[in-house]
Amino acid sequence: MRTPLVIGNWKMNGTLASAPALASGVRVAAAQFAGVETAVCPPFLHLAAVHAAVADGPVALGVQNICDFAPGAYTGEIAAEMLADFGVRFVLVGHSERRALFGDTDARVLAKCRRAHAAGLTTVLCVGETLSERQEGRTETVIAGQIDALLEASDALSLLENLVIAYEPVWAIGTGETATPEQAQAVHHFIRTRLAGLSPVIANAMRVLYGGSVKPGNAAELFGMPDIDGGLIGGAALKAEDFIAICGAARARLASF
């Protein structure tokens, strides 16, 4: 049984007061979900406050991005080594917003995966298709290309040792739309099958999260699918009660398999 994982991606939200308050609320409730891993990814500006709020508790600390270079003269960037030193465990890489708005190509995403791996961080590799790509029947082609950028690397087996994949249909992020459980399961199964081409053992052990508008009302049904191992949560992660309810749905998954 793969350990369910629920990660909150706060994106560019929060204040100096609200960020630690939200983290504290999640920390208090997370203790009741034994067997489920939880993490929050605040903006860099609030990392210290959230770190203090979750320290020595069940909630892991994550970040939304890293630099694809080693420490050096890269103004405005944050290195993987700095984050590891700070106690960060998870790092999101290749989120659709980074790909679409900030020029994160597959090559740059691979470089970030390598930097995270070298620093001992767990990489959450985000993949997904746009609405037009889905309508054109190109979902599998697009996702295969994003995954193969890593699978075809000379160090792929090493990188996969400490990796989580998050499927985030771009058309279902922040739109209120969501893939049906069956649609999501089909893509998750495709991802696992793609991984099996390199290593069936890794494919079976790999946690694949769903990241397209997961809410308390649909989390249980999504997490009930055999290849969906948790969620990368956006908007619902900004309300402690919603995020906690989603963690509860992940806990229920343990009892159903």
Is residue 241 annotated as part of the catalytic site, yes or no?
Answer: no
Whether the per-residue pLDDT at 22 is higher than 90: the answer is yes
Count how many residues are written for the chain: 257
Q: Where are the beta strands (DSSP E) in 85-207?
A: 90-93, 122-127, 163-167
Give the pLDDT score at 179. 84
Confirm whether 251 is domain-assigned: no
Give the pLDDT score at 88. 98
Give the pLDDT score at 171. 86
Confirm whether 157 is domain-assigned: yes
Half-sphere exposure of 195 (CA within 13 A, CB side): 23
Confirm whether 249 is domain-assigned: no
pLDDT, average across residues 158-163: 95
Name the packing angle between helices 139-151 and 106-118 (round to 10°): 40
pLDDT, average across residues 44-70: 97
In the numeric block, which tokens belong to residue 28?
């208090």
Query: From CA 112, how far away is CA 67, in angstroms rounded?
Result: 7
Q: To which H or E segment does residue 225 belong?
A: none
pLDDT band at 253 (very low <50, low <70, confident <90, very high): confident
Is residue 140 annotated as part of the catalytic site, yes or no?
Answer: no
102-153 tens-digit pLDDT: 999 999 999 999 999 999 999 999 999 998 999 899 999 999 999 999 999 9
Q: Helix, strand, or coil here: 59?
A: strand
Confirm whether 153 is domain-assigned: yes
**DSSP-assigned beta bridge partners for residue 61:** 40
pLDDT band at 200 (very low <50, low <70, confident <90, very high): very high
pLDDT, average across residues 65-90: 97
Confirm whether 252 is domain-assigned: no
Confirm whether 236 is domain-assigned: yes
pLDDT, average across residues 213-241: 96
Please tell me which residue in 37, 97, 129, 168 is annotated as part of the active site: 168
Confirm whether 254 is domain-assigned: no
Q: CATH number of the domain that 177 lies in? A: 3.20.20.70
Query: From CA 149, how far away is CA 26, in angstroms rounded?
Result: 35
Return mean pLDDT, the chain: 95
Give the pLDDT score at 178. 72
The answer to whether 167 touches 191, Cβ cutoff 8 Å, is yes
Number of domains into which the chain is organized: 1
Whether the per-residue pLDDT at 174 is higher than 80: the answer is no
Query: From CA 151, how far away is CA 197, in angstroms rounded?
Result: 9
Q: Where are the beta strands (DSSP E) in 182-229?
A: 208-210
Q: Is the dihedral of CA 212, 96, 109, 187 positive or negative?
A: positive
Give the pLDDT score at 257. 66
Confirm whether 215 is domain-assigned: yes
Distance in Å from the first CA to the final CA of the chain: 8
Of 235, 209, 234, residue with least CA distance to 222: 209
Please tell me which residue in 46, 95, 117, 188 is annotated as part of the active site: 95
Residue 224 belongs to domain spanning: 5-242
In the numeric block, which tokens belong to residue 64?
């939304």
Whether the per-residue pLDDT at 173 is higher than 90: the answer is no
Specify the range with the lowest mean pLDDT, choosing from 90-94, 178-182, 195-199, 244-248: 178-182
